Amino acid sequence: METYLRGEDGFSQRIIDAYGREINWDYLERDLKNQDSAPGSDIYLTIDLDLQRIAEETLGERSGAIVALDVKTGEVLALVSQPTFDPEYFIHGLDKNKWNRLIKDKSFPLLNRATQGLYAPGSVFKIVTAAAALKEGVIDEHTRFYCPGSYRLGRSKFRCWKRGGHGSLNLHQAIVRSCDVYFYNTAERLGIDRFSHHIKGFGFGALTGIDLNERPGVAPSKDWKLKNLRRPWYTGETIVTGIGQGFISVTPLQVSVMTAAIANNGILLKPQVVKRVVSPNGEIVLETNPEEKGRTPVGEEIIREIMTALVGVVNEPGGTGGAARLDGVIVAGKTGTAQVISLDSKITSHELNDHAWFTSYAPGDIPEIAVTVLVEHGGKGGAIAAPIAKEIIKAYMKLKEEGSV
């Protein structure tokens, strides 16, 4: 937006001699020009200052990202990345030492984790797996799988996060309790070819179109693996993709856009950070409107079924997102705990802890806001990320009641 913000420089031309003294010379003065400076335009952001402040305070010093979107317009209400840096450094100029400290900082403060950080989505991705499987007819809402705590494929064993298993579950129960084994079964039935089509259909592996630097992530497929790794695709890789592990990588912004689409009957909106541009004389130079980027590959009937389950995640007994429950407001969401290393590993270093995810929208019956939280190496999404989303949704509802959002 620099072309709008900068305005125009003014200048005044004078004739001076070799000593820098101004002289009057009628012959040349007729060619001299003066130009008044002109102020730049004002940029009005979609960011709500109060909600942004609360989101930053709630995340605190933890590394991670928060994205809050208006589900009907795609407007970004809050966007947080931590650790960060003081932008004033770049206004006054950076010396070599300060620049070196920034670029060598192991916490990567220059990385906007919300739009550029790439992560395995973990169990929040089960939303896509479930929707794809329902659309392709490989399961329906009554399909049951038995979870003994693990899933076998040939000689390989894939663990469920619950060691003792969940027993027999239907789809609704599997989403509410986030059963891995249910989604291993589902992904194997689906197959990577059909699965990949739906992954891309939910906006993954592509830029969202936001007016900030972002990365597309990876929507894995047989062709992608052959092109990038020169190796064939294996069924085990399909299975782990079903729970948001393996080659799949996403940004928190992409997850929030996907969540907003679920809350908005399958409409994928371009996330907007600029509301309008106003010239110094008050003229509206640019005004953004909701921009539809596409629609999910699944219809409203499937969307409604997923929405019912997401309400259950937060509000039903045994739901993994109970920490996001609010009095007086129905919150819908999905927890995620993305593995950094194997579940069987005994290593306890903080840097190898799981990433904590929670993606949500509220109110559950008439959605207005989508909130996605990622805490790097935070551990369990239901315990760490869900309470953060709860506080942001709670603050949004209070600000709305006060008429300030």
Catalogue all structural domains in the chain, each as residue range(s) with its CATH number. Answer: 44-104+112-401 (3.40.710.10)
The rounded distance, in Å, linking the Cα atoms of 394 and 139 is 36
pLDDT given at position 345 = 45
**Residues classed as catalytic:** 123
What token pair was written down for 5?
């913000």
The rounded distance, in Å, linking the Cα atoms of 382 and 361 is 15
What token pair was written down for 33?
């020009």
List the chain residues with pLDDT less than 50: 342-348
pLDDT given at position 35 = 85
pLDDT given at position 351 = 62
pLDDT given at position 33 = 81
Closest by alpha carbon to 79, among 102, 106, 49?
A: 49
The rounded distance, in Å, linking the Cα atoms of 372 and 67 is 5
Closest by alpha carbon to 208, among 156, 250, 239?
A: 250
pLDDT given at position 342 = 45
290 touches 72 (CB < 8 A): yes
184 touches 158 (CB < 8 A): yes
Task: Give the type of residue at 84.
Answer: T
pLDDT given at position 93 = 81
